[in-house]
Amino acid sequence: MEKYQGKLTRVDIGAGGWQLRTKSGTTYDLEGDIPPHLAGKQVVIVGEQMESFGFMMGGPVLAVNSIQELTD
C-alpha cells in the first residue's frame, strides 16, 4: 500500500464517480467507499493501483483502503 495526496473530486461522468487529482497532474479514478463530505478537500489516500477497468476512464485506478482529510 502506498500513500497518495491530492484533491478529492466528485466527477460527473456516466453515473458519477470519484477522482484524486495530484499536484503533479496525475488523475486517479478511485474505487472504494468515499465519504461524500470530503469532496473538494485535500486528502491523503492509502491504497493500491489496480489493473482495473471502469467507465470513468480518467486515469489509473486506485483501490482506496483508507482516506483522510489533510488538515494543515
Partner 1 sequence: MFNWIILPSQLLAAQPVIDFVDGSELADLQQELQIELEWVHPNTADEALAYPKSALTDADRKRLQASPLVEVLEDSIEVQAFGGVNDPLYEKQWNLHLIEAEIGWATNPQKEVTVAVIDTGVTAVPDFHNETILPGISFVKGEKTSADLNGHGTHVAGTIAQYTNNKFGVASIAPHAKILPIKVLSKRGFGRSEWVAAGIDEAVDRGAQVLNLSLGGSPSKIIENAVVKALKSGVIVVAAAGNSGREGVASPATVPGVIAVSATDPKDLLSPYSSWGKEVSIAAPGGDKSQPGGGIIQDTIDGTDHAFKEFQGTSMATPHVAATAALLLSLEAGKPENIKELIYKGAKDIGTPGRDPKYGHGRLDIGRTIKLVAAERGLRFAGAGTLMLTMSILAGFRFRWLLAVSSAFFAGGAFFLPVIGVHEPLYLQPILNWLPISGWLSVAWKSALIPTLVIVGSIPFPRLRWLGVNVGIVWSTFFLAGLIDQQLDTSPIHGTWWLWLNLFLSVSTTLILVSLHRTVGDDDGKIPR
Residue 56 binds to partner 1 (criterion: CB under 8 A): yes
Beta bridge partners of 5: 44
Judge residue 5's burial from the number of C-beta atoms within 10 Å of its C-beta, 0-12 exposed, 13-18 middle, 19 or more buried.
middle
Cβ atoms 33, 45 nearer than 8 A = no
- Number of residues forming the site for partner 1 (CB under 8 A): 21
Residue 35 binds to partner 1 (criterion: CB under 8 A): no
* Stretch of residues binding partner 1 (CB under 8 A), selected from 1-9, 36-44, 47-55: 47-55
- 1-20 mask for partner 1 (x: CB under 8 A)? -----------xxxx-x---
